[in-house]
Chain A
Amino acid sequence: MPTVSVKRDLLFRALGRTYTDEEFDELCFEFGLELDEITSEKEIISKEQGNEKAHGASDVVLYKIDVPANRYDLLCLEGLVRGLQVFKERIKTPMYKRVMPKGEIQKLIITEETAKIRPYAVAAVLRNIKFTKDRYDSFIELQEKLHQNICRKRALVAIGTHDLDTLSGPFTYTAKKPSDIKFKPLNKSKEYTACELMNIYKTDNQLKHYLHIIENKPLYPVIYDSNGVVLSMPPIINGNHSKITVNTKNVFIECTGTDFTKAKIVLDVIVTMFSEYCDNQFTVEAAEVVFPNGKLHSFPELAYRKEMVRADLINKKVGIRETPENLAKLLTRMCLKSEVIGDGNQIEVEIPPTRADIIHACDIIEDAAIAYGYNNIQMTLPKTYTIANQFPLNKLTELLRQDIAAAGFTEALTFALCSQEDIADKLGMDISATKAIHISNPKTAEFQVARTTLLPGLLKTIAANRKMPLPLKLFEISDIVIKDSSRDVGARNYRHLCAVYYNKNPGFEIIHGLLDRIMQLLDVPPGEKKGGYAIKASEGSAFFPGRCAEIFARGQSIGKLGVLHPDVITKFELTMPCSCVEINIEPFL
């Protein structure tokens, strides 16, 4: 969930009133935001770098507000204020307009070289904008928030904003060999080739995260003006030439990317938020994009869409009884201008370009519910009559664990993920013999594989509890995972039961006794006939030679029991003899 940091006093001035922290928290909660933290720059620096560094930093109060991940229109002060003011019916939601310039329209021409790297681009102009320090900061910060969220760290979309008065169109969006791209990047005093830049930025804490997006491509995307000035090399860096400042009057915005829909949304969000500061409020100057196939598109789209929702559907889905007129009013408070039309039950809802999150009637219904107030909705119980059933495997598990605890064993709860070493090397096995599934992106060795046996987890539990009085008697009933090509995903779980006895003596008879008890509980008689159970001398790499038996029940092998091999004991950092039993309980369902 993105967090937006705004100056409290600036926010209150824009809202036209002040709130106590509690009142504002309450308002946020109602609207679906969360006042996460009240802090200041000074406090943040002091927390991160110590009091000394914080000396002299601003102590202006900051509100950190958590915004739902799909509400790009609330990612800056301007959007938050607009949303809350409309919600509180203090202002009406503005109409955003795309206008044609008086002079020639700005053009961005896409060449076909971009097709394999970053095929899409959109653009627009904010004409006669008045920045202040705070507005300018908010403008930069919004781009950063968009980059981190909807733009997926610039992979899907990257934004470039430029001082139009320093450039001359038409612009060309193309792709070139890195060695052929040379320009003075943002905040640098000399020119570099793209190759050099990629090297320099390897140590840049912010930019190094974006290099991978184009690093291994033969061509890098780049935008030029008609004089060959580089506007930007998306998604890495803008040129220094067209850098915007507080004094910039006319802003050229380009968004390039691999996701056309998202590029359009990002452009719409930026221009709807900041056209507020244009001389002609909430109007945006169109720019024309020429696609490689020659087709022309004007941007920003600023598309308004009409949806028809029946009032009784909203009432039925939310569980309220409001008149269509009231529902239209509620929706209008959510920046969704609505009116009752037709038979008096139809509500026509206008979806503004700021609300890309509204893709279905259910999104409209949610907004009606939010405006109505979730906590004002009458709670009722559904009349759904059902008979409950337990999942048979879990039912058996629940019954067994009670009785195994009653037999004197203590339940452990160990991780399903572990290292290859745990399930193979430490048990004297080769990993290929385990049929384990392998994780492709583990951050540490602890998450290399899913366990194929419960034994390592129990032995590690003992190792972590060596200070406890002996004997230690532990058990676990849980799932292990084995590759199985007959399953849709190529793997399946098995419900295993494992128990260990750890003491100065191996206590095989105790583990054997537990097995006998388990079979008694499962109503499986001793003896091989008639679906009974028996154990037969066997061997296993984890067991001491001659101290291992295989368990057969209901006509199949279900597991093994025995005394652990001293090597196994040592590898798990244990010192005492240990015996264990592990079986698959699924045959007893």
Chain B
Amino acid sequence: MADGPVAEVLLRRLETADGGLDSAELATELGVEHQTVVGAVKSLQALGEIIETELRSSKRWELTAEGEEIAQEGSHEARVFRSIPPEGLPQSELMRLPSGKVGFSKAMSNKWIRVDKSAADGPRVFRVVDSVEDEVQRRLQLVQGGQAEKLGEKERSELRKRKLLTEVTLKTYWVSKGSAFSTSISKQETELSPEMISSGSWRDRPFKPYNFSAHGVLPDSGHLHPLLKVRSQFRQIFLEMGFTEMPTDNYIESSFWNFDALFQPQQHPARDQHDTFFLRDPAQAQQLPMDYVHRVKRTHSQGGYGSQGYKYNWKLDEARKNLLRTHTTASSARALYHLAQKKPFTPAKYFSIDRVFRNETLDATHLAEFHQIEGVVADHGLTLGHLMGVLREFFTKLGITQLRFKPAYNPYTEPSMEVFSYHQGLKKWVEVGNSGIFRPEMLLPMGLPENVSVIAWGLSLERPTMIKYGINNIRELVGHKVNLQMVYDSPLCRLDAERGPPSTQEAA
């Protein structure tokens, strides 16, 4: 249609037009439907900057079907008048004419005709005047000729009441030249084809412009889970810092490795049924490193290695109880024990990120299983200042630079410090991790040299992920109730590149 005759005419007229032209006027001039011109305008619009258009709406008077008929044939009253011969016409006959009923009463009130009720064969109608001016027809013809404005308000409303006229709103385009105006347009190609490339015809062909505001079609793709994307980044950070990954592929632990080895006394509340998942089957760990177990037992019950101990009756059966590990520190204990068996001692930096299990009350931010991130450095002469230094580097890589440290208590670290960072959104210090230096009562029974210190810290994987992706309910992130659309839509995980979730989430 773009290269149809109407569009071409439009462009030619526009070339010589002063300022622009109206689509409705053009339709009248060309004697075509207005819709045809509108179609031409739209197809030219799609070509870009050839024309500029402005949508205008105007009110216009139009004849109704009956009005059209009257403009053609004359008003009903005039037709009644004309149908009466000089000798008159019986009223009954007149009433049978198509315009009879309406025409009769109008002609009567116009005093164009009279009725002789005394006539022999019933009432008879006669002309009163010789000729009449059909004012209604004249007025309708004026409207038809586009000169409705020549009629008075009163006259128009009378015709409207007679349902001969109606007011319509007309949408027209005011068309003017665009920045790329040209009268020579030809059919535009939608896409480049191999044939065009080989024939070179693309050089001479115009191409239909793209609508760049439309959305693209998303690729069919797989997606990685956001929590595990964050896990990958944490692994990356540890690897960048020279930390070796510990094996953590053992969800089942003995109480020994999970608690006793960490110098956590057997009456400690964490060892309660309310906090820990114990196993019914297999209920007990059959193999424990007994030499080491004895050293652990002695340290708990009697002390040693400079410690007073906890002075209670340590029971092997309690240590054998199997459980779902409550922290990855159980794996760290195994790794450190393993390290202690290697002579001579070699410094080590370890990390792990894996699942841990707690028999806790569940809510919007707590699940029975979550991921723990843990970092450990073992070397001669490590200090609290070293721990803080390593934490500073670690958190800087997460994009967290404002840190402060609070004294805290952990059963297996001393000194212990909680790590706080200033949260810009919440305008307060929030805890981002826990850390400390492992107690000598944990390290020395393992066989590590006395002057070796082990610094360690931990945090959960879920919390930073929820903050990063603005998720308030942990179930939307972890577990089968995950919102897959969220997985599909989640961006890359660049921990140091952005700060926090969108502001609305921060407020919540």
Q: Are A410's CB and B222's CB within 8 A? A: yes
Cβ of B85 under 8 Å from chain A = no
Q: Are A411's CB and B481's CB within 8 A? A: no
- Chain B residues near A68 (CB, 8 Å)? 407-409
- Chain B residues near A318 (CB, 8 Å)? 383-385, 415
Q: A406-B222, A411-B225, A488-B287 are in contact. Are A443 and B359 (CB under 8 A)?
A: yes
Cβ of B382 under 8 Å from chain A = yes
B480: contacting residue among A34, A370, A385, A460, CB under 8 A: A460
A490: contacting residue among B286, B386, B405, B479, CB under 8 A: B286
Q: How large is the interface on B (under 10, 10 to 19, 20 to 34, 35 or more residues)?
A: 35 or more
Q: Are A361's CB and B306's CB within 8 A? A: yes
Q: Are B409's CB and A71's CB within 8 A? A: yes
Q: Are B478's CB and A413's CB within 8 A? A: yes
Cβ of A249 under 8 Å from chain B = no
Q: Are A439's CB and B280's CB within 8 A? A: yes
- Chain B residues near A260 (CB, 8 Å)? 311
Binds A, one of B30-38, B172-180, B237-245: B237-245
Q: How far is the CB of A420 from chain B (nearest CB, A)?
A: 12
- Chain A residues near B441 (CB, 8 Å)? 360
- Chain A residues near B243 (CB, 8 Å)? 386, 388
Counting from the closest, the 3 A-B pairs by CB-CB distance are A319-B385, A319-B383, A32-B407
- Chain B residues near A413 (CB, 8 Å)? 225, 227-228, 477-479, 482
Number of A-B contacts (CB under 8 A): 289
Q: Are B279's CB and A438's CB within 8 A? A: yes
Q: Are B273's CB and A316's CB within 8 A? A: no
Cβ of A529 under 8 Å from chain B = no
Cβ of B90 under 8 Å from chain A = no
Q: Are A317's CB and B383's CB within 8 A? A: yes
Q: How large is the interface on A (under 10, 10 to 19, 20 to 34, 35 or more residues)?
A: 35 or more
Q: Mark A373-408, 1 if CB is under 8 A from B, else 0.
A: 011011111111111111101100010011011111
Select from chain A the residue with minimum beta-carbon distance to B225.
A411
Q: A69-B409, A317-B437 are in contact. Are A439 and B324 (CB under 8 A)?
A: yes
A439: contacting residue among B278, B309, B440, B487, CB under 8 A: B278
Q: Are B277's CB and A439's CB within 8 A? A: yes
Q: How far is the CB of B74 from chain A (nearest CB, A)?
A: 66
CA distance A381 to B455 in the complex (A): 12
Q: A359-B303, A490-B285 are in contact. Are A382 and B377 (CB under 8 A)?
A: yes
Select from chain A the residue with minimum beta-carbon distance to B438.
A362
Q: Are B484's CB and A384's CB within 8 A? A: no
Binds A, one of B53-61, B94-102, B251-259: B251-259
- Chain B residues near A75 (CB, 8 Å)? none
Q: Are B414's CB and A363's CB within 8 A? A: yes
A selection of 22 A-B contacts at a CB cut-off of 8 Å is: A68-B407, A360-B305, A360-B306, A360-B307, A366-B407, A374-B388, A380-B383, A381-B386, A382-B379, A384-B348, A386-B347, A394-B245, A416-B369, A439-B277, A446-B368, A461-B484, A464-B480, A468-B485, A479-B251, A483-B281, A490-B284, A493-B249
Cβ of A29 under 8 Å from chain B = yes
Cβ of A433 under 8 Å from chain B = no
Select from chain A the residue with minimum beta-carbon distance to B477.
A413
- Chain B residues near A401 (CB, 8 Å)? 224, 228
Q: Are A316's CB and B409's CB within 8 A? A: no
Select from chain A the residue with minimum beta-carbon distance to B223.
A410
Q: Are A384's CB and B369's CB within 8 A? A: no
Q: How far is the CB of B249 from chain A (nearest CB, A)?
A: 4
CA distance A189 to B498 in the complex (A): 67
A463: contacting residue among B278, B324, B392, B480, CB under 8 A: B480
Q: How far is the CB of B132 from chain A (nearest CB, A)?
A: 74
Select from chain B the residue with minimum beta-carbon distance to A463.
B480
Q: Mark A462-488, 1 if CB is under 8 A from B, else 0.
A: 011100100011010001010101011
A369: contacting residue among B242, B303, B384, CB under 8 A: B384
Q: A384-B379, A481-B251, A489-B252 are in contact. Are A389 and B244 (CB under 8 A)?
A: yes
- Chain A residues near B239 (CB, 8 Å)? 388, 390
Cβ of B190 under 8 Å from chain A = no
CA distance A375 to B235 in the complex (A): 28
Q: How far is the CB of A265 from chain B (nearest CB, A)?
A: 10
Q: How far is the CB of A177 from chain B (nearest CB, A)?
A: 27
- Chain A residues near B479 (CB, 8 Å)? 413-415
Select from chain B the residue with minimum beta-carbon distance to A488.
B287
Select from chain B the residue with minimum beta-carbon distance to A480.
B251
CA distance A31 to B409 in the complex (A): 12
Q: Are A394's CB and B235's CB within 8 A? A: yes
A382: contacting residue among B308, B390, B409, CB under 8 A: B390
Q: Are A362's CB and B415's CB within 8 A? A: yes
Q: Are A381's CB and B390's CB within 8 A? A: yes
Q: Are A441's CB and B222's CB within 8 A? A: no
CA distance A440 to B277 in the complex (A): 7
- Chain A residues near B227 (CB, 8 Å)? 413
Q: How far is the CB of A213 from chain B (nearest CB, A)?
A: 13
Q: Are B282's CB and A483's CB within 8 A? A: yes
Cβ of A152 under 8 Å from chain B = yes
User: In A268-317, which residues have CB < 8 Å from any B CB?
Assistant: 316-317
Q: Are B414's CB and A366's CB within 8 A? A: yes
Q: A29-B406, A411-B224, A415-B480 are in contact. Are A379 and B251 (CB under 8 A)?
A: no
Cβ of B188 under 8 Å from chain A = no
Q: Are A316's CB and B250's CB within 8 A? A: no
* 17 further interface pairs, Cβ-Cβ under 8 Å (given A374-B384, A439-B277, A489-B322): A68-B409, A317-B383, A359-B309, A374-B417, A384-B347, A398-B235, A408-B222, A410-B488, A413-B227, A417-B277, A460-B480, A475-B222, A479-B355, A485-B282, A490-B322, A492-B252, A493-B250
